[in-house]
Chains A and B, each alone.
Chain A
Amino acid sequence: MKKEPRHYIGDKDIQVIIGTLLRVGVYTSLAIVLLGGVIFMAGHAGKAVDYASFRPQPAGLASIGGILKGLFSLDGMAVIQFGILLLIFTPIARVVFSIFGFLIERDYLYVGIGLVILAIIALSMNGGFTH
């Protein structure tokens, strides 16, 4: 690989860490989704589907607590949803890692920017907006 001088020392290491984190996050979560899919199909293959109208209050799988509860009883739907939850957290974890990276570089402006992004996501996760 080419070694080029960079504008900011340390950026390269952060890039490699972020790249690896994203890859591992995506493949781990989708492996769990696949596992959940197999469990779900084994139990429900012949049942009829009905997605024609949206029912806003589903049982359990819309909250982290509900997903974890179903996960321990190896409910296929809950395992899939757990994988999806991990997938959603993958780019969020990327922001957290970038914040640490910028902290090491003493680039406090970007530490601040990263924290703002996390705050926006935390607010939306809080559900304050959704009810």
Chain B
Amino acid sequence: MTVVVFTLIVLFGSLLAGFLGSLTGLGGGVIIIPLLTLVLGVDIHYAIGASIISVIATSSGSAAAYVKEGITNIRIGMFLEIATTVGAVIGAILAVYLDPGYIAVVFGCILIFSALAGLQKKTDRSDNLVSSGLADRLKLNGSYPDAGRQHPYTVKRVSGGFLMMLFAGTLSGLLGIGSGALKVLAMDNIMRIPFKVSTTTSNFMMGVTAAASAVVYLHRGQIDPGIAMPVALGVLTGAQVGSRVLLRTNTGLLKKVFAVVIIFLALQMIYNGFSGKI
């Protein structure tokens, strides 16, 4: 394959990955890594390096808008970033010692989990009644604007959320994905933060988490400009288009169709991982 053909295929695939990733909330990385490894035969180390760069681009791009609107809780984000960045560095280092086959299998499992978590009906368990002592001391409680008024909320089980974030960060560093599904799980289910705040704050944290593992990857030569260029440009453009379409479409059916595709890709990754083809 020549450089021009390769670049065009990756660019087109990344556009699609960014578009679907933004519509379904799963992120572009979960599609671009299977595309590069399964379809184009790229080594998984290069695929992860390129994907982590696209995570920085898309999360920073969309975080910019949310932060300005005042929905993102910067204190929650920064406090939990301690956990995610430590995890990200651990994950990136682990990636050296793990056999690529194992990485592919773990990737497939997380993919299935994310797809199923995305399908679940969400229930907002946030309230403004009790707050944990740690949340008070760290000034994590806040309020967010919606429909013209401020909604106050309190944060619970801070250490549990912190531990979950450490795990989410490790997977992000190991697999080159944003691991948004795990971050939202930590914030929604454990810390009881309202959706709007948890999804935007998770997005806000992704950039610096991905940057922490990206410096390790860069140093190791896992970020190849020839792959990272079309992936970063494609995924960001696709995600921007996706976020505009998102405001006008009902994504229920799309999410279901997409979950089936994702699970198929995941099984393929797991199979190839076990059979040593990756």
Q: Please report the C-alpha to C-alpha distance between residue A47 and residue B225 in the assembled complex, in whole angstroms.
A: 15
Question: At the interface, yes or no: A104 with Cβ under 8 Å from chain B?
Answer: no
Interface size class of A (residues with CB under 8 A): 35 or more
- Complex contact B61–A22 (CB within 8 A): yes
Residue B135 interfacial (CB < 8 Å): no
Q: Tell me whether B82 and A46 are in contact (CB under 8 A).
A: no
What separation, in Å, do the CA atoms of A57 and B42 have in the docked complex? 17
A16 to B86, CA, bound (A): 27
0/1 string, B12-46, CB within 8 A of A gives 1: 00000000000000000000000000001111111
Interface residue? B261 (CB, 8 A): no
B265 interface residue per 8 A CB criterion: no
Nearest chain A CB to B9 CB, angstrom units: 10
CB-CB under 8 A from A78, the residues of chain B are 225
Out of B4, B67, B89, name the residue touching A18 (CB < 8 Å): B67
**A124 in contact with B143 given A26-B236, A51-B227, A117-B85 (CB within 8 Å):** no
Instruction: Say yes or no: is A77 at the interface (Cβ < 8 Å to chain B).
Output: yes
How many angstroms between the C-alpha atoms of A22 and B64 in the bound complex?
Answer: 6
Q: Which of chain B's residues have a CB closer than 8 A to the CB of A52? A: 41-43
Given contacts A22-B207, A49-B1, A124-B89, is CB(A90)–CB(B232) below 8 Å?
no
* Nearest chain B CB to A103 CB, angstrom units: 13
Minimum distance in angstroms from A22 CB to a CB of chain B: 4
Q: How far is the CA of A62 from the CA of B79 in the complex (A)?
A: 30
Q: Which A residue sits closest to B5, measured CB to CB?
A: A49
What residues of chain A lie closer than 8 Å to B143, measured between beta carbons? 7
Min CB–CB distance B69 → chain A (angstroms): 8
27 CB < 8 A contacts A-B: A7-B143, A11-B74, A20-B64, A22-B63, A29-B57, A30-B233, A33-B233, A34-B233, A36-B225, A37-B7, A49-B6, A51-B40, A51-B224, A54-B222, A57-B221, A62-B220, A63-B219, A76-B225, A80-B226, A87-B232, A88-B53, A88-B214, A110-B139, A120-B82, A120-B212, A127-B219, A130-B96
Q: Which residues of B contact A (CB under 8 A)?
A: 1-4, 6-7, 40-46, 53, 56-57, 60-61, 63-65, 67-68, 70, 72, 74-75, 78-79, 81-82, 85-86, 89, 92-93, 96, 138-139, 142-143, 145, 148-150, 207-208, 210-216, 218-230, 232-233, 236
Interface residues of A (CB under 8 A from B): 2, 4-8, 11-12, 14-16, 18-20, 22-23, 25-26, 29-30, 33-34, 36-37, 40-41, 44-49, 51-58, 61-63, 76-78, 80-81, 84-85, 87-92, 94-95, 98, 107, 109-110, 113-114, 116-117, 120-121, 123-125, 127, 129-130
